[in-house]
Amino acid sequence: MKRWPKKLLSDLVLPTEQCDPRKKPSEEFSYIDIAGVDNRAKTIAAIKRIVGADAPSRARKVIRKGDVIVSTVRPNLNAVALVPASLDQQICSTGFSVLRPSEKLLSGYLFAFVRSPAFVEYLVARTTGANYPAVNDGEVKDASIPVPPLAEQERIVKLLDEADELRKLRGQADCRTGALIPALFQEMFGQHVAAPPIVTSTVGLKAPRGWRWAQLTEVGRLATGHTPSRRHPEWWGGDIPWISLTDIRELDGTIATATSEYVNDEGIANSSSVKLPKDTVCFSRTASVGFVTVMGREMATSQDFVNWVCGPELDPSFLMAALMEARAHLRSLASGSTHKTIYFPIVEQFAAIIPPLALQKEFATRVTEIRAMRAEQSASCHRLEDLFKSLLHRAFNGEL
């Protein structure tokens, strides 16, 4: 183990400057706010082009190429990024601590340090505020960092960059795999959309290849339920998975087997709720409109969802993919200014093209194969993530 001397960041970074863009009201500039940093990719993912007259009050900090920006808000999320040459002399929010390395630090080495578990833990321990957890700029710069010679810093950065590149390649492969199911759907069934909501009958609607349109209520049973009262905690914590709006985004496009909450039979019996069988298709009609999953076991949901128990002409994996294909259209049917909802009279008019069941089953089989491949990729991604975290830990403990 190598013991490099440790120094405070404040002793290793250069002073930075601030300016008020509103003093040049017609001059356009690039602005980075906290939401613009992708805390998973550790990059600046969104840039706003605005003029000085429209500058928010937090647009004050000048950034330069090679600076490292660290969000001081919710530091547990580790929203950090390295400033590229294209954003030299632009502006970021005062919600960032701007770290400008001196000649004693390489930018890449500093950037690696702010991603390390030790740095994140250091900031989290100093976070204050329940509703707006944050640290201040001084606390960021009070962190201590091992300072090896520049040649050693360069070696460490090279090793970490190689590991990071493997993570990025894995992520790109995962994105391509994620596009396979929609592409397969298009290949097998063509352009697929929901029928217009004003149509109360599918008579006269033309479908390709001699197939037919059917309202989903004709080929499946529509079901919903109500939430067991929270005033009765004894109704919760049973063995029946309860799909909530918290779950649905994570479950979207998957076979659901577990949820964050569970209810019991007593809760179901006393709440006008219903247990739904395996292979029921669950679609969110309110708030997170348009997310969909297939129940991989007996489950229950609230009135925030509509559920179709598929009949003999309808495969659940096909229906889930069809709803996802038509998602943009279906979301346009939601009403309400602050709380978007698709109301039941509209849901009852959902329709779909019904291909032969054998073709639907073939699609479902191929989707299962794709999901198995994605599961293997996900495991590989987790292994690479763990490897990178281990390398970060070892790098700043003199073990790399």
pLDDT digits (tens, 9 = 90+) for 42-95: 999 999 999 999 999 999 999 999 999 999 999 999 999 999 999 999 999 999
The pLDDT mean for the chain works out to 89
Helix %, strand %, coil % of the chain (to 5): 40, 25, 35
Same domain, 244 and 341: yes
Same domain, 203 and 349: yes
Where a domain ends, among 338, 355, 372?
Answer: 355
- What is the per-residue DSSP string for 227-255? PPPTT-GGGEEEEEEEE-HHHHHHHTTSE
Same domain, 272 and 306: yes
Would the pLDDT of 12 be above 90? yes
Helix (H) or strand (E) holding 88, with range, is none
State the pLDDT confidence band at 179, using cuts at 50, 70 and 90.
confident
Would the pLDDT of 28 be above 70? yes
Q: What mean pLDDT comes out for the span 144-150? A: 93
The parent domain of residue 35 ranges over 6-147
Q: What is the pLDDT of residue 200?
A: 67
Would the pLDDT of 164 be above 70? yes
Would the pLDDT of 298 be above 90? yes
Q: How far is CA 143 from CA 113, 122, 188, in A?
A: 10, 7, 56
Beta strands in 6-134 (DSSP E): 6-8, 13-14, 28-32, 37-38, 43-44, 48-51, 59-63, 68-71, 80-82, 90-93, 96-101
State the pLDDT confidence band at 132, using cuts at 50, 70 and 90.
confident
Same domain, 121 and 205: no
Q: Mean pLDDT lowest for which of 20-34, 45-59, 367-381?
A: 367-381
How far apart are the C-alpha atoms of 214 and 202, rounded to whole Å?
A: 6
Identify whether 262 is part of a domain. yes
Q: Domains in the chain: how many in total?
A: 3
How far apart are the C-alpha atoms of 393 and 391, rounded to whole Å?
A: 5
Q: How far is CA 333 from CA 198, 327, 346, in A?
A: 11, 10, 8
Q: What global pTM score does this model have?
A: 0.61
Residue bearing the bigger pLDDT, 222 or 200: 222
Would the pLDDT of 305 be above 90? yes
Same domain, 95 and 143: yes
For 133, list phi and psi in degrees, rounded to 5.
Answer: -65, 130
Residue bearing the bigger pLDDT, 339 or 393: 339
Same domain, 154 and 241: no
Same domain, 225 and 283: yes
Would the pLDDT of 156 be above 80? yes
Same domain, 351 and 378: no
Same domain, 104 and 250: no
Q: What mean pLDDT comes out for the span 175-203? A: 73
Identify whether 136 is part of a domain. yes
Same domain, 250 and 156: no
Q: How far is CA 182 from CA 5, 87, 174, 185, in A?
A: 54, 36, 14, 5
Same domain, 253 and 320: yes
Identify whether 1 is part of a domain. no
